[in-house]
Amino acid sequence: MRKLNVLIAGSTGYIGIQLVKLLLTHKYINIKFLCGSSSIGKKISNYDKSLDKKKLPKIVKFNKDYLNKVDLIFTALPNGEAQVISNYLLDKNVLIDLAADFRLKKASDYLKWYKQKHKSLKNIKKSIYSLPEINGKKIKNYKIIGCPGCYPTSILLPLIPLIKKNTFNFNNVIIDSKSGYSGAGRNVHKKYVNKNLYESLSAYGVGFHRHNSEIEQEIRNHTKRKINFLFTPHLSPMFKGILSTIYLDLKIGFSLEKIQKILNDFYKKEKFIKILKVNSLISTNDVINTNNCHISICKTKYKNKIIILSAIDNLIKGGAGQAVQNMNIKFNFKKDEGLK
């Protein structure tokens, strides 16, 4: 099998660096171009010393002429920029976006939540939002793949199978998520200049975080149901990892054990989803540097209430790893190629 020639746009951000590291271990990938803006002419090892002895091209400014020389484009750019690149795609190209440009299926929703007009309306219908374990089989028919956000990944993986089975009260769902500060990007220290990121926990986007739209859209798409949920994200004093805590009121006839069985059955063939023993107290440390999602169902003092814990590495399962997973499905590579 020949190697794919790949261009990575936005290669020096936290997710871009993580993607480079994963692709270097992939048998069928040749990194042809690394693109940036303020980093043009530099080596990527300037941004991560572990890449110092790797054979990688110097960073260049994106040029649409490069698309003639590559099969696959990964974009890990500020919102809106992947849309522009998508307008230049050739028939031979596949684009996998790690930002939010092709997550929402309505241009009006994108304007509402991201405060900018979509720059590639024609390509919205040509794209697919792909959480691999949920709808990965469909992506072979698409040339533009939008990867989920990190918070929605940790939330949708446990919730969608349970919504499909109508297991809990859809009017009272509370989601509390805590992320490492890398989730806010390389400029996180400029964004939160007045916060001590290394020693404090901070809530942000309370009630109106952008990922609300993505979570609601995908729940409706996959279950045809609407749920009322409250989602609050937090930045925690760690570099990476996400722990989401989800509070559910079970419907009559469903027990903690039944919920456990539903999730086990749904994900029994999925390599990266680990449904742990009931009441397992998981942490982000269990999943750091992996493409795994660990899920634990926990009892409470009320028989009809449960707590679901879900942990991922936000830069891998919630970012670069999920992009590689989608690529592997699209091009018929082994599921775990580049993700071992």
Q: How far apart are CA 239 and CA 216, in angstroms?
A: 28
Domain ranges of the chain: 4-148+318-330, 151-314
Q: Are strands 242-249 and 173-180 parallel, antiparallel or unpaired?
A: antiparallel
What is the identity of the amino acid at 99? Answer: A
Q: Which phi and psi (to 5°) does residue 2 adopt?
A: -75, 155
* Structural contact between residues 35 and 56, judged by C-beta atoms closer than 8 angstroms: no
To the nearest 10°, the Cα dihedral for 82, 83, 88, 91? 90
- Is the CB of residue 324 less than 8 Å from the CB of residue 19? yes
- DSSP secondary structure letter of residue 56: -
- How far is C-alpha 242 from the chain's CA centre? 11
Mean pLDDT (the chain) is: 94
pLDDT of 195 strictly over 90: no
CA distances from 256 to 168, 237, 303 (A): 11, 32, 9
- Whether the pLDDT of residue 200 is over 90: the answer is no
- 322, 160 contact by CB (below 8 A): no
Which pTM was predicted?
A: 0.95
CA pair distance 307, 312, nearest whole angstrom: 17
Least confident of 64-78, 83-97, 161-175, 217-231: 217-231
Burial of 2 (0-12, 13-18, 19+ CB in 10 A): exposed
H, E, C per residue of 131-190: CHHHHHHHHHHCCEEECCCHHHHHHHHHHHHHHHCCCECCCCEEEEEEEEHHHHCCCHHH
CATH of 151-314, one of 3.30.360.10, 3.40.50.300, 3.40.50.10540, 3.30.450.20: 3.30.360.10
- pLDDT at position 294 over 90: yes
DSSP tag of 193: T
Angstrom distances, CA of residue 59 to CA of 26, 34, 301, 323: 20, 5, 56, 21
Q: What is the pLDDT of residues 1-13, one digit of tens each?
A: 789 999 999 999 9
Furthest CA-CA distance within the chain: 62
Contact of 308 with 176, CB cutoff 8 Å: no
- pLDDT digit string, tens, across residues 117-127: 999 999 999 99
Distance CA 158, CA 225 (A): 16
User: Is 147 one of the annotated active-site residues of the chain?
Assistant: no
Asked if residue 309 lies in contact with residue 277, where contact means CB atoms within 8 angstroms, the answer is no
Q: Judge whether residue 40 has pLDDT over 80.
A: yes
Identical fold for domains 4-148+318-330 and 151-314, yes or no, is: no
Give the whole-angstrom CA distance, residue 192 versus residue 3.
41
Tell me which of 243 and 182 has the higher pLDDT. 243
- CATH number listed for the domain at residues 4-148+318-330: 3.40.50.720
Given 35, 147, 150, 293, which residue is catalytic?
A: 150
Give the residues across from 306 on adjacent strands.
Answer: 248, 299
DSSP states along 301-323: SSTTEEEEEEEE-TTIIIIIHHH
Q: Look at strands 229-236 and 202-203 and give their pairing.
A: antiparallel
Token pair for 222: 């996959």
pLDDT at 194: 63
| pLDDT value at 210 more than 70 | yes
Calpha distance 311→145 (Å, rounded): 24
pLDDT of the residue at 251: 96
Find the helix or strand (DSSP H, E) in which 326 lies: helix 321-330
